[in-house]
Copies of this chain bind each other. A is one copy, B any other.
């Protein structure tokens, strides 16, 4: 089973690295900085106390997907269509594309440009790039993926590589559960530049998150998605389990990079408008992050 990893960020490098280490042929496709480092000395992985180097193919060319049976699709949500169109001429007709991305509509958007087998995957991992071609694991690593024709083989190979993987019709529900957490935390952490612990200590923040979760749940439910009953207490309790964490949106904004907010609160607003469900709290958060992005871009 040949693997291509489209997008050499922390998610792509972590899963691609484990699969390559287990003996599968893996090609990493990403930016020159990481590709050059991996070609020169392999991917450096830090997992718990272990530190090891995994040799693998790496390229900046999207044609690197050419022979792959399975593509791990790990690009930012904003790049889904563009990268999908670039891959299309090189894809095997029987390829299985696994979307390991934030947001809930990436599989639909990728399938719209590529056709074929595109599978939603909910990713539960804390991992970050620690340098060029160097990925560090901070916790978990399990995947919940939607059903697909080759899922038995994929689960077997992934499990053998040390990636706990389950197949579930509820993968989309799991993605929505993650989306709700992101809608509650990412914009507030970005706009205040506060870590989660101090964020929840600000008067009113718990009430704002309660409004955001209620709006997201209404939109999800009207979209046919099942949201677990304990979602609100789980969201409010998250800050206590990772008080020092800042959201990816906070990090993107601080570095002047485009955020994924259009695919977080922005998606809830768009879906809400389609379904005639009002989303005022999500709208304020989305609008202020877009204004902050524009201010950074202009400065």
User: Once bound together, how far apart are the Cα atoms of A284 and B286, in whole Å?
Assistant: 11
Residues from chain B with Cβ under 8 Å of A286 in the complex: 204
**A280-B280, A281-B280, A283-B281 as given contacts; A288 in contact with B211, CB under 8 Å:** no
> Is A236 interfacial (CB 8 A cutoff)?
no
Closest to A214 in B: B280
Interface secondary structure of A, over-half rule: helix
> Is A194 interfacial (CB 8 A cutoff)?
yes
> Is A54 interfacial (CB 8 A cutoff)?
no
Residues from chain B with Cβ under 8 Å of A202 in the complex: 287, 290-291, 294
Does A295 lie within 8 Å of B208, measured CB to CB? no
> Is A207 interfacial (CB 8 A cutoff)?
yes
Residues from chain B with Cβ under 8 Å of A283 in the complex: 204, 207-208, 211, 281
> Is A173 interfacial (CB 8 A cutoff)?
no
A-B contact pairs, 10 of them (CB 8 A): A192-B292, A192-B295, A194-B291, A204-B286, A208-B280, A208-B284, A211-B278, A211-B283, A281-B284, A284-B285
Identify the A interface with B (CB < 8 A): 188, 191-194, 202-205, 207-208, 211, 215, 278, 280-281, 283-288, 290-292, 294-295
With A193-B295, A208-B287 already in contact, 19 other A-B pairs whose C-beta atoms are closer than 8 Å: A188-B288, A191-B191, A192-B291, A192-B292, A192-B295, A194-B295, A202-B287, A202-B291, A203-B287, A204-B283, A204-B286, A204-B290, A208-B280, A208-B284, A211-B278, A211-B280, A211-B283, A215-B280, A284-B285
